Amino acid sequence: MLKESKKKGKAKKRKRKNNWLLSCFQGWRDRYPGGWDVKLVVGLGNPGSEYRDTRHNAGFMVMDELARRFRIARQDYRYEAVLARTRIQGETVLLAKPLTFMNLSGRAVSSLVNKFKINGEELLVIYDDMDLETGRIRLRARGGAGGHRGMNSIIERLGTVEFHRLRVGIGHPPEGIRVTDYVLSPFAPEEKDITARAVQRAADAAEMWIREGIVKAMDSYN
What CATH number is attached to the domain comprising 207?
Answer: 3.40.50.1470
pTM: 0.85
Q: Please tell me the predicted confidence (pLDDT) of residue 113.
A: 96
58 found inside a domain: yes
In a domain, residue 117? The reply is yes
**What does the pLDDT average to over 10-27?**
50
Q: What average pLDDT does this structure show over 164-168?
A: 98
Answer yes or no: is pLDDT of 16 > 80. Answer: no
pLDDT > 90? residue 163: yes
Task: Provide the number of structural domains found in the chain.
Answer: 1
Band of pLDDT at residue 36, cut at 50, 70 and 90: low
Determine the Cα–Cα distance for residues 189 and 186; give it in Å rounded to an integer. 9
Tens of pLDDT along 77-86? 999 999 999 9
134 in Cβ contact with 169 (< 8 Å): yes
**DSSP H helices in 117-191:** 149-158, 179-183
What domain range is 44 assigned to? 36-221
Which among 56, 148, 164, 172 is annotated as catalytic?
56
* Confidence band for 17, pLDDT divided at 50, 70 and 90: very low
The confidence score (pLDDT) of residue 5 equals 57
Confidence category of residue 18, pLDDT binned at 50, 70, 90: very low
Residue 105 domain flag: yes
148 is catalytic: no
Q: pLDDT by residue (tens digit) across 130-149?
A: 999 999 999 999 999 999 99
Check pLDDT > 90 for residue 90: no
Mean pLDDT for the chain overall: 88
pLDDT score for 91: 87
What count of residues does the chain have? 222
- Give the per-residue pLDDT at 114: 94
How far is Cα 156 from Cα 151, in angstroms, rounded to an integer? 9
- Judge whether 88 lies within some domain: yes
- Per DSSP, the residues of 98-120 read ESS-GGGHHHHHHHHHHHHT--G
Classify residue 21: in a domain, yes or no: no
Q: Which amino acid is at 72?
A: I
Residue 2 lies in a domain: no
Alpha-helical (H) ranges within the chain are 11-17, 20-25, 28-31, 58-69, 105-116, 149-158, 179-183, 192-212, 214-221
pLDDT at residue 74, as a whole number:
87
